[in-house]
Structure 1
């Protein structure tokens, strides 16, 4: 995001104060050139200074702020609900342009690499899900992708495995995404039929409007749960983490992006309360933005117990220890500290399926 000298961006934020059960409203000013922040509490009376102008926390940047995002400031999870002035609205609303890309089953093993190609061009993941469609649903989807009159061979390909649907947000994404899809086909498509990635019109409504209900692709059988933490999603490392999982031989049978509130984050992490000293901060981090939940399985012929094997790939909880003992592990490469450690993985075998059920069954029905 380019800036002009002395540029100030303004946002309206809301924070739920649980003790009096009130939603507090804030005016948040971001001073782009000095990378600093100032916050005022606004209500029925005069505005009061909540945070004097000070440098942004190390885990935040100017790019962390836009409408729809959550920011964790002084242990308060603030939802950015609106722009505070016309200038900020004009400047940043262009970054909320979005477009949907669909990966066909032939692109499954390259999904992380493809996501990374878009991320490197400033097109970030905004929504993400896996689906498996039958012929009736495909008869609706394929024309949206410009595929008319599919034959039996094509239908066989599209029903042979999971599809990945991802909404990409960024400046001029409605024009840049189709251009990139055309370019990336030459890199990933095996043939005209095995085209790897596709885009078209009406895909946002088809996959993400809630008008259709898709059955989960999770199996809840000999699987474990992995969750890419919000800080890793914000920093653009989710595609590399997904690719590392696949390159290590694991199968991702279900994948979905979630935005958890504090209640859901606490429920999911409840078994870790009293086990990890950083439990309160870990809960806050998990609801500080979007996370990506995965159901992960070991290769069928490997004979590996998936929970332990995936925990080995993740590395030690403590990032410093991971860098020393398992430097190639996911936490060593993408973690920051014991709270911002990139990836949650199920600790105990008996919790593996229940954790998958939480994301891919319970939250689907709530």
Structure 2
């Protein structure tokens, strides 16, 4: 008998489709990462592969002479935000090792992670805000939606010379007056260079009736001016007895909630309370432990809290004024998100936290005597622990 060619074609096509679907499901995002091994005191290089469909990751160690499996396919820990944290320059802890993303390993990964980006350059958004800073959160939230999560941020006050340097760096009509930048506080934020960032700044400026006060640039000179060189009025923190600190946790930064959280705070601020400082910091695990050590015997999931605070960039705010500590504690709500939603549904943790105490969006100063200490810790001792550009 002649073979049933139609049936053979059917099975061949079925196998091919099934194979292609399997290949698509197994398509990995691949990046080159480095880990500093403290025992021999050397940097080790790895190829890290992330499989989005199954949320698993594997690592292959690479040297000049060989490559070997270092981590077999394993689940991605819940506290990590992949693929957002795989962007070049990001740092994250994976199974007790802090890894730094050095580069994308293939064209597929570059296309997927950089679909909205141009090369690997950075885009700096400068936001001049009114003296009371009431638009900071709303503006930042609008930019996050278009430009993605923050990479670096500083709350600054520029003197006239620094403002003139900033205007000269832009060299365009979007930023033509040094007076705007020296008359009050400003926020400088860095995003991965997004093709929409410049237009987003113009649109947001018109939206908030502030044309020329929200501008964007990719100049390395501007990054050096605002983040590398010492500024006359940095830090802007008060370090006084009437200050309190709020830490917006890495998971909330990765989820682009920073602007919305700040806007929520600004809506509740009285005329006697002011936002006086802000900075994006990346804490090493040892620094996170130093900060949270007092909670070690109190928090049942202390190690998970430690991992979350050191897993990525966190945004620290200082608020200054009478009863600032109590005001912010009440606004944050209960530590446990479920309790917060039941008891204080309008609190920060109820509105922006996830379903456990570790991912409750924010940490705030507990005791009135700790405000100045925590402000000193973040804006002085940890001032150099900025995320890599």
Note whether the superposition's TM-score is higher than 0.5: yes
Which runs of structure 2 are paired with 1:47-62 in the superposition (5 Å)?
47-52=68-73, 54=75, 57=78, 59-62=80-83
Which contiguous aligned blocks of 4+ residues in structure 1 show a shift greater than 6 angstroms?
19-22
Question: What secondary structure, in the 3-state scheme, does the structure 2 residue paired with 1:51 have?
Answer: strand
Aligned residue-pair number: 347
For residue 297 of structure 1, what is the aligned residue in structure 2? 320
For the pair shown, the structure with the greater C-alpha radius of gyration is: 2
Query: What is the distance in 2 between the residues matched to 1:16 and 1:5?
Result: 33
The residue number in structure 1 matching 2:238 is 219
The residue number in structure 1 matching 2:123 is: 99
Asked whether 1:199 is paired with 2:216, we answer yes
Using the TM superposition, give the Cα deviation of residue 45 of structure 1 relative to its aligned residue in structure 2, in angstroms: 5.7
Give the alignment partner of residue 309 of structure 1, picking from 323, 327, 347: 327
1:115-159 per-residue CA deviation (whole Å, 9 max, x = no partner) reads: 111221243321110111222222222333447885xxx73x543
Q: CA deviation at 1:76?
A: 4.2
Provide structure 1 residue ranges, at least 5 long, that are not aligned to the other structure: 299-303
Deviates more, 1:49-58 or 1:346-355: 49-58
Matched, 1:84 2:105: yes
Residue 271 (1) aligns with residue 294 (2): yes
Report the secondary structure of 2:135's partner residue: helix
> For 1:1-366, what aligned pairs fall within 5 Å after superposition?
5-6=24-25, 7-16=27-36, 25-42=45-62, 47-52=68-73, 54=75, 57=78, 59-89=80-110, 91-92=112-113, 95=117, 96-106=120-130, 108-145=133-170, 146=172, 150=177, 155=179, 158-172=181-195, 176-189=196-209, 195-200=212-217, 201=219, 202-208=221-227, 210-214=228-232, 215-221=234-240, 222-249=242-269, 250-298=273-321, 304-336=322-354, 337-364=356-383
Partners of 2:76 and 2:331 lie apart in 1 by 36
What SS does the aligned partner of 1:269 have? Answer: helix
Q: Unmatched 5+ residue regions in structure 2? A: 1-22
Which stretch of the first structure deviates more once superposed, 234-243 or 13-22? 13-22
Helix, strand or coil at the partner of 1:203: helix
Q: Is the 8 A contact 1:35 1:62 kept in 2?
A: no
Q: Is the 8 A contact 1:9 1:31 kept in 2?
A: yes
1:292-347 C-alpha deviation (Å, 9 max, x unpaired): 1111124xxxxx41111101111111112111111111111111211111111011
Contact 2:31-2:48 at 8 Å conserved across structures: yes
CA RMSD of aligned residues (A): 2.9
